[in-house]
Amino acid sequence: MDRSNGMKRSSSENATNATRDPETNSANTADLTVAKPWKQRFSFRQPRKQHTLEETPAQGKMCRRSASMRNSSFRNNSAKSSTNQISETNAQAPPKKSNWEVIEHYNPGNALTGAPSGQTKDSPDDDSDDDEDEVESILLDHTHEWWNMWALFRRVFRSHRFKNVHVEVLYQRYFLRMNQNNMTSLLTLLIAIAVTMIVVNYILSDADSIMQGVTLGVFSIMYLILVILMTRSFLNEVYLIIFSYIVLASFFGIEVLIVLDSDPRSANAGVWCTMFFIYMTYTLLALHVEECTVSGLLLGFTQVACAAGLNYTDEFLVKQMGGNTMLFLCTNIAGVLTHYPSEVAKRQAFMETRQCIEARLTTQRENQQQERLLLSVLPRHVAMEMKADIAGKPTDTQFHKIYIQRHENVSILFADICGFTVLSAQCTAEELIRLLNELFARFDKLANEHHCLRIKLLGDCYYCVCGIPDARPDHAHCCVELGVDMIDAIALVREVTGVNVNMRVGIHTGRVHCGVLGLRKWQFDVWSNDVTLANIMESAGFPGRIHITPETLMYLNGDYEVEDGNGADRHPYLQEHNIKTFLIVPPDHFTNPAKQKHVIVRNGKIVLGSEISKELRMMGHGEHNQTGIKTKLGIGPGADDEKNTEEEVNDYLARAIDARSIDRLRTEHCKRFFLSFRDKEIEERYSKQRDKMLEAYFTCSIFIYISLYILQMIAIPETDKTGQVFMASGGVILFITSLILCEKCTCLPKPITRFSNYISASRILAQLLGIINVGALFACVVVPMFDLDNNRIDECVDRLYGNINTTSEKSLCDDRMGPNITYMHQMLKNISIVYGNETATEEACGFTRHTTHFPEYFTYSMLLVLISCAVYQMMISALKAVYLILLSSAYLAIVHYQCWNMFDNQDFLLQTHDGNCPHKYMETRYMVIAIVISFTIALIIHGHQTESTYRLDFLWKLQATEEKEEMEHLQAYNKKLLSNILPVHVAEYFMSGDKNNDELYHEQCDSGCIIFASIPNFSEFYVELESNNEGVECLRLLNEIIADFDEILEEDCFHCIEKIKSTGATYMAASGLADQSSIIDNMHVDAMANYALRIREQLNYVNEHSFNNFKIRVGINIGPIVAGVIGAKKPQYDIWGNAVNVASRMDSTGVIGKIQVTQDIEQILKPKGFLLTCRGMIPVKGKGEMLTYFLDGRGSNNTGMGAGSLPGRREEAFS
C-alpha cells in the first residue's frame, strides 16, 4: 500500500475534523524554561506546577461559563507506601444494631436520638460540621490560665460526649468493648480478696463473724457468675454497664459490712478497702467521670458516717475522721486525674481514627468515581498499564514508552452524520452540545450493546471497533448490527427535527494498532492502513446504507444480503487499489423516513407529541429525566451510594468494633509482658507519641504531696525529719512539676519553654521525672517512720508494774481463770497509757522519741504513693510494675524489720481498748502485707490494661491512617491519569456533587487562540512492513514528536496553552480557556506564537537526529469559541466555533514549513515585535477570500523567547 495512505485521514481532513474533539488541561506547566534534551525524558512521577483560576483573579468578562463549576484545584495528596491494614474490619461478623439502651443511658433526654447523623447538633445555631467541632469537648483548652481551678474543674466535669449522637453511640460501644478485660480482671481480683478475707476471718484469727463470712461468700459467688457471663457472646456491651453498677453496689455492701462488723471496733476500719474501691471505680469500672466522682465521694462519705456513728464516744475520733476524709478526698482526686486523661486519650484516638476512616472512605469513593471516569475514556488494559508505570520508578530510556498494542481480525466502523451542518445551523452552542451529547450517548449505548469499543468523536463523525481488547469471532456481525441501529436511531432525529439528516456507515476488517500517543491529553486511538480504508469506505458510501469491503463480507458468512457498492466509482483510492465494495441490503425493520410526526426543538431538547414518545424513549431521550450525564458516566448516585459518607463511616466503625479482638491484636502485634510492638518501626513511632495529658499526672503528685503533709500533721506526731523530708521532697516535686507546666506559660523566656517542651516530648525523660516524683513521695512516707520510737508498750507496762508476765497471753486471756482484759484496761488507764493519747504514753514509758498509736496511716499514705505511681499512665507497664513492686517490697521490709513494734503496739492498745485478746487476732503488720499486695496487683493490672489500650488505639489509628494514605496514593495515580485526559476543572465538574444531574459542561470564551500543527508528509513515512513491526516503529517516532511538543508545553511560559488533542499527525491546542489572566494584553496570543516557533524548531531538531525530512504546517487564529464535553459514556472535551474552523483552514490551506495566521493575529503580534510577512488573499472554504500572513520569527524587541531556549542536542540518532 502506498505511503501516502498510511494514516487513517489526510492531514487536511484531520485538521478540519479536529475542531470537535476532546480534552484540555487546566494550564499545568513545569518550572522548566528550556526544552529538555531527548536524553532526559519526561517522568510520570515528575512534579508539575499547577496553575488554576485561584492563582490569579479573573479579569473582566472574557470568559462566561454557562455551567457552575468549582474553581478549586484538585487536592495534592501525599503518596506514602502502606504497610498494614485493619485486619479486624475484614471479619465477616455481621454488624450489631445500634444499642439504643446505650443512647438512653448516656444521652438522657436527648431529643436528637433519632435524628439523622448529618443533622445532629447541640443547638440550631451551631452550623459547623467540622471534625474539630466533634472533638472540641475533649481537647485541652489553653485559653484559661493554669491557676484557674474553676475553669479546670468545669473542663474535667463537663460532658465529653460527642455532639453527634451516632458517633457517641459508637464510642460507647468501643469504650465498653475496651473495658471488658478491665472488668474481668477486677472481678477476678475481687474474688481473690474476698476469699482471702474469709480465710483470715475463720482460720488465721478468732474473729469468726458469721455475717461477714456469709456476705463475702455471696459476693464471691456473684463475682464468679459475672466473670462467666462476661465470656458469653450473647451479651453485648450494654450489659457491661449493668455489671458495673452491680459491682459498685457490692463495693458499698462490703464497705459497710467491714466498718460495722469490725472487731476490734475502730474508726479506721475499712479505710483501706474504701480507698481500694474508690480508685478501682475510676480505673476499672465502665463508668464516666461524673458517675465515678459521685460514687467515690459516696463511698468515702459512707465510711466516715458509719465509723463516726459507731465510734462517736472515742476522744480521738476527730483526728481519725480528719485523716480519713483527707485520704478519701485525695484518692478521688487521683482517680479523676487518672480517669479524665484516659477518657480524653480514648476519645481523641477514637475520633482521629474515625477521621482517618472517613477520609479514607471519602477518598475511596472519589477514587472509584475517578476510576469510573478514567475507564470511560481509556480501556481498562491501557489505564492499568499506565497506572503501573506511574507507580513504578522512572527509567532513563532513549525513547518514551509507547502504549500501543496490535490486534488482528478487528472490524472498524466509521459513521458520519450527513446533513449535520444544516442541523447545527439551527442550534445555539448550548443546544448543539446537548444535541450531540444525546445523540452520541445513544450511539455509545448501542455500541456497548453490540460489544463495540468507541474510539473517537471527530465532529459529527463516530468511529468504533469490535474485537478490542478481547477478540470476538462475530466482530463483523456486531459492527453491521451497530450500523443498522445507528441508521435507525438517526431516522428518529430526522423525524423529530424535520431536517434531512442520515448516517453514512463504512466497515472494514483487518489489523489495527491501538493505544495512546504523547505525554498529555491522552486519547485512545487506532492506526493502520486498514483504519484508513475503513474511513474511505465511509466517505465513499451512501446515506442510510452500510458500505463494506470483501474482508468484512467474508466474516459475515453470508448472513446478510448484499449488493454491489461500486465504491471505486466514488473514490480514487478504491479505484487505484481495485477494491470491490458492497452495500448491506436494508432490513425490513428500518424506520420509514416518510413517517413524520409533529415535533419541535426547544433549548436543545427534543419536545414531541405522544405519538412518538415511545420511539424517543427507545432512543434514550426518555431516560434523560431519570439519569443525568453523571449517572451515565458512572459517577452519579447508584445502589452503593445510597448512604452518605458519615453513615458509611459509622457502619464501617461499627463492624470494626464488633470484629475487634483485643487479645488477638495484642498477641499478633505486642509482646506478652513488655507490651512493646513486635515491629520495631511501629514501636519507634509509638515512642515518639507525646502524651497530651502529662501536666495532669504531675499535678496529681502535687495534690498527693499536700495530702500526705496534712495527713502527717493530723495523725502522725511531727518530728525533725518530718519537716526536713517534706521540705526536700516538696522542692523536688514542685521543681519537676513547674518544669513540665511552664511549657504553657507564655510569659517565660523562650529557652525555658523550649526546654520544657523538649522534656515533655521525650517519653524517657517524662518517665524518669515521674519516677523521681514518686520516689520523693515515698520518702515522705518512710523517712518519718525511722524517727519514731519503736519500743514495745507491753514491755513498758510490765516494767512499770514489776510483773514480768502480767501482760502475757496466759495472764490476759487464761481460759481457766477467765480473761482479765477489763482489769488490764483500767490498769493501763491508771498509768496514763490510753489508745490515742501518744503524749501521755511517751511520758509514762519514758520514751525519748515520739511514738504513734496510728501507724496504719503510714500504710494508707503508702497506698497514696502507689496510686501516684499508677496515675503516670505514660509510664510503660513493665517499668511501672517493677517500680510498684520495689516500692511495696521496701515498705513491707521497713514495716517488718524496722517498725514492726509500732504496729504491734497499735494491736495491743486497740484490742485492750475494745476488750479483746490481742493474741487471738491476726497482727496488723501481716494484714498490711495483704493490703499492699492487693493494691499493687490491682495497680499493675490497671497499668497493663491502660498501656495495652493505648497501644492498640495507636495501632488502630496507625492502620486507619495507612489505609487512608494507601487510598490517597491510588487516588494520586488516578488523578495524574485523569488530569492527562480531561482538564482539571472539567474533571472536577464531573466529580463534584452539587450540580443538577442533567447539567452538561460547556463554557464560552470570547478570545480563544487556536493552533493546528500538522505534518503532511508523515503519511509518506508510515508504512506497514515486517521490518518495522508492521508500522509500530513509525508510530513510535510520531509518539516522540508529539511527546516533544507536549514537553514544551510543560515550560512555565506556555502554562496558558491547553493541548486539545492529537489526531494522526495533527496537533491541536488552544490558549485563553481556563487561565483568564493570560487574556490580559493578549499574552495568550504571544505565548501561542512563541509555541508555534518552538515546535517548528523542535521538528527541525528531530529531523537532524532521526535523518528524516518531516515538514510542519501551522495555522493560528483567534476568536470566540465554545468548549464543552460530549459523549455520556466516554466524555470528550472539545472546542467548537467559527474561529476553530478558520484555524483549521489556516493549516490546511497553509504552506509546508510556514506558520499561517489570520489578520487578527497579525494585528496583535506585530506591535509585540514579531516578524510577519503578508501572504495575500487566499480562498478559504466557507469564508471566501481571506487576508493571511506568515509568522517568520521573533523581532529584536520581543521578550517572549530567546535563542537560548532552543532544545539541547542529542547525540543518539534514530535507527
All residues at 6 or more sequence positions from 316 whose CB lies less than 8 Å from its CB, including other chains: 835, 836, 837
Q: Residue 738 is placed in which grid cell?
A: 513547674
In the chain, what is the greatest distance between 2 CA atoms, to the nearest angstrom? 149
State the Cα–Cα distance between residues 528 and 535, nearest whole angstrom: 11
Cα 999 to chain center, whole Å? 30
Is residue 588 part of the annotated active site? The answer reads no
Residue with cell 529531523: 1103
Cβ count within 10 A of residue 242: 14
Nearest residue to 102 (alpha-carbon basis) of 159, 156, 161: 161
Side-chain-side CA neighbours of 417 within 13 Å: the count stands at: 27
Burial group, residue 767, by CB count within 10 angstroms (0-12, 13-18, 19+): middle
Give the active site residue among 412, 417, 579, 1121: 417
Burial group, residue 473, by CB count within 10 angstroms (0-12, 13-18, 19+): exposed
Amino acid at 911: Q
Nearest residue to 1033 (alpha-carbon basis) of 1023, 1042, 1041: 1023
Sign of CA dihedral 882, 884, 888, 891: positive
- At residue 784's C-alpha, the angle toward residues 779 and 786, to 5°, is 105
Nearest residue to 54 (alpha-carbon basis) of 69, 44, 40: 69
Can you point out the beta strands (E) in 264-346?
Answer: none
Residue with cell 498477641: 667
Measured torsion, CA atoms of residues 538, 541, 546, 552, in degrees rounded to the nearest 10: -60
State the Cα–Cα distance between residues 343 and 346, nearest whole angstrom: 5
- Map residue 276 onto helix, strand or coil: helix
Nearest residue to 520 (alpha-carbon basis) of 952, 979, 904, 887: 979
- Please tell me the total number of residues recorded for the chain in this structure: 1215
Strand 1155-1158 relative to strand 1113-1126, pairing: parallel
Is residue 460 part of the annotated active site? The answer reads yes
Helix (H), strand (E), coil (C) string for 444-510: HHHHHHCCCEEEEEECCEEEEEECCCCCCCCHHHHHHHHHHHHHHHHHHHHHHHCCCCEEEEEEEEE
State the Cα–Cα distance between residues 20 and 1104, nearest whole angstrom: 34
Give the active site residue among 314, 460, 904, 907: 460
Nearest residue to 936 (alpha-carbon basis) of 880, 864, 885: 885
State the Cα–Cα distance between residues 885 and 891, nearest whole angstrom: 10
Give the active site residue among 261, 416, 444, 1046: 416
The string of DSSP letters for 798-820 reads HHHHT-TTTTSHHHHS-TTT---
Side-chain-side CA neighbours of 1013 within 13 Å: the count stands at: 30
Is residue 485 part of the annotated active site? The answer reads no
State the Cα–Cα distance between residues 964 and 1184, nearest whole angstrom: 60
Q: Which residues are catalytic?
A: 416-417, 460
